[in-house]
Structure 1
Amino acid sequence: MRIAFLVAPEGVEQIELAQPWKAVRSHGHEPVLVSTRAGQVRAFHHLDRADAFPVDEVVGRTSADAFDALVLPGGLASPDFLRMDEGAVAFVREFFDRGRPVAAICHAPWTLVEADVVRGRTLTSWPSLRTDIRNAGGIWVDEEVTICDNGPNTLVTSRRPRDLKAFCDAFLRVLSGVAA
């Protein structure tokens, strides 16, 4: 399976990109780094600059049709940049329109809110997004990982980096067809 990892050119939390990427690859799937610009993306360790990663595909030159699932890593800046980019928001919405699995961690649900895809869904996130999610019609819960099958696709969400093992395990179960 081809799995899109959508991040902004700067500000993705490195561990929230690298650990799911490694998990997806180790299970025989093909992770693909998608961004709003060609070149490289700059990751961060919270607020400190970290590694750069090469972009494989660019929003606007690809579509959800080219992928089997989507991962939205968090960090403070990347999701905020993505939710302000119409192409990125449309790309995310395509996955929901096509019923493809989506996984989002930490601040990444900001992009889901902007794409208007959380209404009626149960999800978790970094705690400061609670009000945004509720205002968008979502049901926010404070759990390590949440799998929501309410809708045309499955949505996997987690709160923070220390939830990454549960996040990756849940997403891999969804990819294998065993959501619970």
Structure 2
Amino acid sequence: MRIAFLTAPEGVEQVELTDPWEAVTAAGDTPRLISTASGTVQGFHHLDKGDTFPVDQEVKDASVEEYDALVLPGGVANPDALRMDADAVAFVKAFFAAGKPVAAICHAPWTLVEADVLTGRTLTSWPSLRTDITNAGGTWVDEQVKVCTGGPNTLVTSRKPDDLKAFCETFTAEFAKSAR
């Protein structure tokens, strides 16, 4: 499977990119880094700069048909920037329209709010997104990982970096189910 990882050029929580990336690779799938700009993505350890990662494709040139699933890493600035980019929002929305699985952690559901894909969905996130998710028609729960199949696709969400082990195990299993 080819898995798209969508991030902004700056602000992605590094561990929320690298741990899921490693989980996808360990599952035998192919991760690809998609961003709103070419070059590199700057990872962060909360507020401190981390490593940089090469972008494989700009979102304006990406098509949902090229990918089997989507991962949205968090960080506060990352999804805030993505939700302001029309190409990024359209790319996310296209995964839901195509019925392909999506996984999002921490603040990443902000992009889902902007894509208007949460009506009738149950998900978790960083607690400060609760009101945004509820206002967007979703139901927020405080769980380590939440799988929602009540919609056009499977949506896997988690709250924070401490949940990464469960998040990675769950979304890779769900993605594998969709490939059957």
After TM superposition, the score normalised by the length of structure 1 is: 0.98
What SS does structure 1 have at the residue aligned with 2:38?
A: coil
1:142 aligned residue: 142
CA distance in 2, matches of 1:177, 1:65: 18
Deviation of 1:53 (Å) = 0.2
CA distance in 1, matches of 2:62, 2:125: 27
2:40 aligned residue: 40
1:2 aligned residue: 2
Deviation of 1:162 (Å) = 0.3
1:163 aligned residue: 163
1:69 aligned residue: 69
Deviation of 1:152 (Å) = 1.1
Residue type of the partner of 2:136? Answer: A
Q: CA RMSD in A?
A: 0.7
Runs of 4+ in 1 over 4 A off after TM superposition: none
1:84 aligned residue: 84
Q: Which runs of 5+ in 2 are unaligned?
A: none
Residue type of the partner of 1:71? Answer: V
Deviation of 1:175 (Å) = 1.5
Deviation of 1:69 (Å) = 0.1
Q: Which runs of 5+ in 1 are unaligned?
A: none
1:107 aligned residue: 107
After TM superposition, the score normalised by the length of structure 2 is: 0.98
What SS does structure 2 have at the residue aligned with 1:50?
A: strand
What SS does structure 1 have at the residue aligned with 2:177?
A: coil
| Per-residue deviation, residues 122-169 of structure 1 (Å, max 9, x unmatched) | 000000000000000000000000000011100000000000011001
| Per-residue deviation, residues 27-76 of structure 1 (Å, max 9, x unmatched) | 10000000000000101000000000000011111111100000000001
What SS does structure 2 have at the residue aligned with 1:147?
A: strand
CA distance in 2, matches of 1:175, 1:63: 18
CA distance in 2, matches of 1:85, 1:116: 14
Count of residues paired in the alignment? 178
Residue type of the partner of 1:119? Answer: T
CA distance in 1, matches of 2:68, 2:151: 17
CA distance in 2, matches of 1:10, 1:81: 8
Residue type of the partner of 1:151? Answer: G
What SS does structure 2 have at the residue aligned with 1:60?
A: helix
